[in-house]
Chain A
Amino acid sequence: MSKPNLRLSVRPLGGGCCAIDLFGEVTAFAENSLMDAYTQATGAGATTLLLNFSGLEYMNSSGIGLLVTLLIRANRHTPRQRLLAVGLSEHYRQIFELTRLNEAIGIYATEAEALAA
Chain B
Amino acid sequence: MSNPLPPAPAPRDAAFWARPMTKITVEAVPAGAVNLNVDGHTIVSPLQGFGALWQKTYRVRLPGVTTSAADVMRVWKENFPKFQPPGNHFYPPSTGIDPGRVIFIDSTLPIFPGLPGLIPIAAGVVVIYEDDECFTVMTPDGFPESGWNTFSVTDEAGVPVAQVQSLARAADPVYEFGMYLMGGAEMQEKTWQHVLTALAAYFGVAGQVQMHKVCLDPRWQWREARNLWRNAALRTFFYLPVALARKALRR
Interface residues of A (CB under 8 A from B): 1-2, 28, 57-62, 65, 68-69, 71-72, 75-76, 89, 91-92, 94-95, 97-101, 103-104
| Interface residue SS majority, chain A | helix
Q: Supply 12 further A-B pairs (C-beta < 8 A) apart from A61-B150, A100-B43.
A: A57-B11, A61-B136, A62-B152, A69-B216, A89-B11, A94-B20, A97-B20, A98-B19, A98-B43, A99-B45, A100-B44, A100-B47
Task: Decide if B47 touches A101 in the complex (CB within 8 Å).
Answer: yes
The reply to whether the CB of B13 lies closer than 8 angstroms to some CB of chain A is yes
List residues of chain A with CB within 8 A of the CB of B14. 91
The docked-state distance in angstroms from the alpha carbon of A99 to that of B127 is 11
The docked-state distance in angstroms from the alpha carbon of A89 to that of B11 is 10
The reply to whether the CB of B80 lies closer than 8 angstroms to some CB of chain A is no
Interface residues of B (CB under 8 A from A): 8, 10-14, 16-21, 43-48, 53, 55, 128-129, 131, 133-136, 138, 148, 150, 152, 154-155, 165, 167, 216-217
Task: Decide if B11 touches A91 in the complex (CB within 8 Å).
Answer: yes
B244 to chain A, nearest CB (A): 36
Task: Decide if A98 touches B11 in the complex (CB within 8 Å).
Answer: no
List residues of chain A with CB within 8 A of the CB of B11. 57-58, 89, 91-92
Given contacts A65-B148, A72-B216, contact A60 B134 (CB under 8 A): yes
